[in-house]
Structure formats: structure tokens, C-alpha cells
Homo-oligomer: A and B are copies of this chain.
Amino acid sequence: MSRTDLASQNCTLARTIELIGDAWTLMVLRELFLGERRFDALLRQTGASPHILSQRLKRLENEGVLRRETYTTHPPRHDYRLTPKGRDLWPVIVTMKQWGDSWLEAGDTPVAIIHKDCGRTVIPHVTCPDCGEPMTARDAVPRLSPEFTAERAAARKQA
């Protein structure tokens, strides 16, 4: 199976992985969440090559994760901004950051998160929307849909 085949799976996680499960794409998202908008800034802060960066930006634009906005017409220049679909990736980026802070770090966190509403520096965490308790892998049981169960059974039988 090629990487692009992931997009055709029933699994919405596999389809998300196919789209953003790539180091340069994730670095671009980091930069957009930090407020960078211009190609040159994205180039320098991600460390990607111009070709790779162009390709990743085009894909994210095609998928509606970001949009280009013209900021001057003489000469024509545009910048890159997250759409609502793109901004909705914030929990993914933040949970990756928290994991890095917990497991890969030696000193202070490079980016603290301040919650506007309460003004505090916080470590956002994943909770249950019903009971409000923090959730971990131990607290959750996955229940697979019939379609996904069938897809997995077919994969299991492959030679």
C-alpha cells in the first residue's frame, strides 16, 4: 500500500495522517499557529526547502486547511492564513507540544500557553465532555464501526 492509499481508508485517522502526517506539513502548521504568514518567514522558520514548502502549502490550500490572501497588488503578493478547518488542528499541535514538553525536554518549555479567558499559563489537557474528567488511553475503549471492522478483517486475510 502506498502512503496515498491511506486517504481511501474508512478510518478518519488514517485520512488525517495521509494529509498532515508529515514533518514539514506539521512544521508549517506550527508556524501558522505562531502567527507567521509569509513564504519567506515559513521558509526560514521551518527549515524546509523552497520546493518542499511550496508543495506542502499548495496541498494544504487545496484541502482548505489554509487560504492565500493578497496583501498587495503592485507587485502581487500574498500570505498564508489558517482557515477554520486549519485552526481546528490546534488540539493536535498542542497535544504534540505537551508530549514533547513531558518526554523530550530538559529545561523549561519553549512555548507557554496562556488561556485568554482565565489569564493563566496552562497545560491544556484532553477531558471527557460529559463528566469533565481528564482522559488517558487507560480510560478509553474504542468501538469500531461495522465498516471499519470489515476493512480490518479483509486486511487480516491478505497474503
Contact = CB atoms under 8 A, between A and B. Distances in A.
A22 to B, nearest CB: 6
B131 A97 contact: no
Interface string A31-66: 001100000010011011000000000000000000
Contacts of A23: 3, 6, 17-18, 21-22
A143 B104 contact: no
A12 B128 contact: no
Residue of A18, A47, A148 contacting most chain B CB atoms (<10 Å): A47
Nearest to A125: B129
A141 B158 contact: no
Contact of A122 (B18, B95, B113, B129): B129
A136 B87 contact: yes
Interface in A107-124: 108-118, 120-124
A140 B116 contact: yes
A110 B27 contact: no
A38 to B, nearest CB: 11
B33 A6 contact: no
